[in-house]
Amino acid sequence: MDHAARLAGLTLLTICSTLCACQKPPRSRGEAVTRMVQLQESGHYDDAVRVVENWMNQHQNDTSQNDFLHLQIAIVLISKAYHKQSTRDESLDNAASHLERALNLYAAKKPEDEDTTLFGIGGAYEILGDLSKNDKCRFFGKARTAFDEQLPLIKGDSYTAYGKTVALEPLRVEIRKHLKSVEDKSAQAGCSVTCSPKFSPDKT
């Protein structure tokens, strides 16, 4: 699977309505994320990031989903790095910064079973490793740690929410597949692979 397809797959978001950039400020977090996705898809990466950053700045009393929002911003910046080579390094650095913020916020919360935030963060770090010239080992290592810590959170055979039941074994299979992929890429890059520690997010 190429990078463009994987970037599209990472953005696992529900788009509820069609919005345009000229509309009034989003009324909810969901609208902010929806607008961000639309702006990203039309190539307006900086505007996409700005929508969600403005939302967080204007709603500092509710940070419960900010780890998810920083992850989504990182995905937008990774997409920008992939499509705009002239600012690639800057976009990758900014994406890494937002992933660290996502990790810090996630670590401050008590993770719930079936919470797949770490899977998303790991996937983003894996792509950073693919695209990076100088930090492949660091990014692949963080991806591996995320996948390792995600697996124990996926418990049981299925998960039911909002009247729908989802089988969990396919998710575990997908996580293991990405874990194996990162381990192979680390070996190819000549990285020193050791047992994955608990996350200790970089200080930013």
What was the pLDDT predicted at 159?
Answer: 86
**Along the 204 residues of the chain, how does pLDDT read in single tens digits?**
566 656 655 653 333 333 333 457 788 999 999 999 999 999 999 999 999 999 999 999 998 899 999 999 999 999 999 999 999 999 999 999 999 999 999 999 877 767 899 999 999 999 999 999 999 999 999 999 999 999 999 988 998 877 889 899 999 999 999 999 999 999 999 998 765 555 555 544
Question: What DSSP state is assigned to residue 164?
Answer: E
What was the pLDDT predicted at 7?
Answer: 63
What was the pLDDT predicted at 204?
Answer: 42
Are residues 157 and 65 located together in one domain of the fold? no
Distance from C-alpha of 166 to C-alpha of 200, rounded to nearest angstrom: 31
Are residues 44 and 3 located together in one domain of the fold? yes
Report if residue 57 sits inside a domain.
yes
What was the pLDDT predicted at 1?
Answer: 57
pTM given for the model: 0.82
Residue 111 CB: number of other CB atoms within 10 A? 14
Distance from C-alpha of 96 to C-alpha of 29, rounded to nearest angstrom: 23
Distance from C-alpha of 180 to C-alpha of 163, rounded to nearest angstrom: 33
Are residues 129 and 169 located together in one domain of the fold? yes
Report if residue 84 sits inside a domain.
yes
What was the pLDDT predicted at 192?
Answer: 86
Residue 175 CB: number of other CB atoms within 10 A? 22
Are residues 95 and 168 located together in one domain of the fold? no
164 DSSP β-pair partners: 161
Distance from C-alpha of 72 to C-alpha of 36, rounded to nearest angstrom: 9
Residue 128 CB: number of other CB atoms within 10 A? 25
What was the pLDDT predicted at 196?
Answer: 52
Are residues 79 and 125 located together in one domain of the fold? no
Are residues 81 and 21 located together in one domain of the fold? yes
The number of folded domains in the chain is 2
Type of residue found at 103 = L
Are residues 132 and 103 located together in one domain of the fold? no
- For CA atoms 83, 86, 88, 90, the dihedral sign is negative
Report if residue 203 sits inside a domain.
no
**Could you list the residue range(s) of the whole structural domain that residue 15 is in?**
1-109
